[in-house]
Amino acid sequence: MKSMTKTPLRKIDFTAHVWKEGPTYVSYSPELEVSSCGDSVAQARPRLREAVSLFLEECSCRGTLEAILAESGFERHGKSYRPRRIIARVKLRLSVPLAS
């Protein structure tokens, strides 16, 4: 009989940005640099959740989960991971020279 030990699960909070490119809605997690897409916002968000889940599962299988999350700026808080607290968020404008 096989022993059925469960891997402890932890929660992770991550940001989801969604924008439209042509007819497609792109969903993106900037902390993890993972993206997905769908035909609507309602479709793109759960697809991003699935893509992030698969990415983190693969990292766990390879033994790199802790390193990836640390590199991505996540901090462990008990049974969850949270991204670094953003102190300021601003939009900046820059002049870009045009190619001749």
Q: Across the chain, what does the average pLDDT equal?
A: 91
Give the residue-averaged pLDDT of 93-97: 94
pLDDT tens digit string along 4-37?
Answer: 555 667 899 999 999 999 999 999 999 999 999 9
Distance CA 42, CA 99 (A): 39
Q: Which residues pair with 77 in a beta bridge?
A: 80
Q: Where are the domains of the chain?
A: 11-83
Give the residue-averaged pLDDT of 57-81: 93
- Predicted confidence (pLDDT) at residue 74 exceeds the cutoff of 60: yes
The distance in angstroms from the start CA to the end CA of the chain is 72
H or E segment and range at residue 37: strand 34-38
| CATH T-level assignment (fold) for domain 11-83 | Double Stranded RNA Binding Domain (3.30.160)
**Residue 21: Cβ-neighbour burial (10 angstroms; 0-12, 13-18, 19+):** exposed
- Predicted confidence (pLDDT) at residue 2 exceeds the cutoff of 70: no
Confidence of residue 62 (pLDDT cuts 50, 70, 90): very high
Spatial contact of 78 and 9, defined as CB atoms under 8 Å apart: no
Spatial contact of 58 and 51, defined as CB atoms under 8 Å apart: no
Whether this model's pTM surpasses 0.95: no
Distance CA 54, CA 45 (A): 14
